[in-house]
Amino acid sequence: MFELYFLGTSASAPSVQRGLPAQIVIHNEYRFLVDCGEGTQRQILRSRLGFRKINRLLVTHSHLDHILGIGGLVSTFLRWEAMEDLEIYAGKTALERIEDLLFRVVIRGAKAPFPIKLIPISEGVIIEEKGLKIKAFPVNHRGPDCFGFSFEEEGKRPFLAEKAEALQIPQGPWRRDLVNGQSTTLPDGRVIDPEQVLGEYETGTKFVIVGDTSETASLLEHCRKADGLVIEGTYLQTEVEMARQFSHLTAQDAALLAKEAEVKQLYITHISRRYRDKDVEKEAQSTFPNSTVVHDFDSFMIKHD
């Protein structure tokens, strides 16, 4: 299960209602900030999530509306927050810009009180934690080194409490061993095998975030059967030519991808100020009913049923 918090949902420039792109993904004790548009630190404060444990930043691409907030966020961390370290994962082009922003402007030759690690990414697994893999995959937008991210929980076999009760397995380390797939010896001497109390294998939750993109064909397999998909829907289909000119999607494009990939829920962000939310949502839902146009400070639980 993942918790998803939208901090900024506007396209290219902020509006009165929407900040620039940023979202926080929470999985167990881990927090990941995906993109960091200008003003993100204030959005974090307004969300009441706080800065605690936000020490890993994933960047989709190098455009300024997705990275300018890193300067202010790091400046705040340097002065007020007790951080152990900060890890920034991005493509080569984005890292070059971020390095200039941090080390030529914000820090400017001074020694940071904690390590700042700029980690270049390529396609494949970039972070692996207990029961969680984060994969990067290439995305086509204006310029090189653009990426999307999939967050994938490890699957498991559920512990069947009713079978454990029937076998009179006591609470404690015996059940813990069985949950972990290990045989256990009960106090009465019986040996219980995990096969006796575990159900069929269940796929873990899969959740995908795509930043700006000009097309969806290359994304289809990466999004396949995701429980949640976050992707831009900057334009309406009436201005599809403008969408293509600036390498963005329409709401219909996003919805068609969600439908073809058999996604459970679609979250459309990066909304242009030129449209009303209800019109964007109407266009998406006409193709894929489980479409939601998101707003700043919206939050969702993403889980595999």
Q: Mark whether 296 is an active-site residue.
A: no
Please name every residue paired with 125 in a beta bridge, in sequence order, or none if there are none. 135
Residues 14 and 273 sit within 8 Å (Cβ to Cβ) = no
According to the annotation, is 27 in a ligand binding site? no
Amino acid at 179: V
Neighbours of 146 (CB within 10 A): 26
118: exposed, middle or buried (Cβ count in 10 Å: 0-12, 13-18, 19+)? middle
Residues 6+ apart with CB under 8 A from 159: 175, 178, 179, 197, 198, 199
According to the annotation, is 212 in a ligand binding site? yes
Neighbours of 33 (CB within 10 A): 25
171, two tokens: 């609470």
Amino acid at 56: R
According to the annotation, is 63 in a ligand binding site? yes
Query: What is the distance, to the nearest Å, from the Cα of residue 199 to the centroid of all Cα atoms in its chain?
Result: 29
Amino acid at 183: S
Which residue in 65, 145, 227, 253 is the catalytic one?
65
Strand order in the sheet with 124-129: 124-129, 132-138, 147-153, 206-209, 228-232, 266-269, 291-293
Longest dimension (CA), the chain: 74
Q: Which residues does the annotation place in the binding site?
A: 61, 63, 65-66, 141, 212, 270
Bind-site residues for Zn(2+): 61, 63, 65-66, 141, 212, 270
Catalytic residues: 65
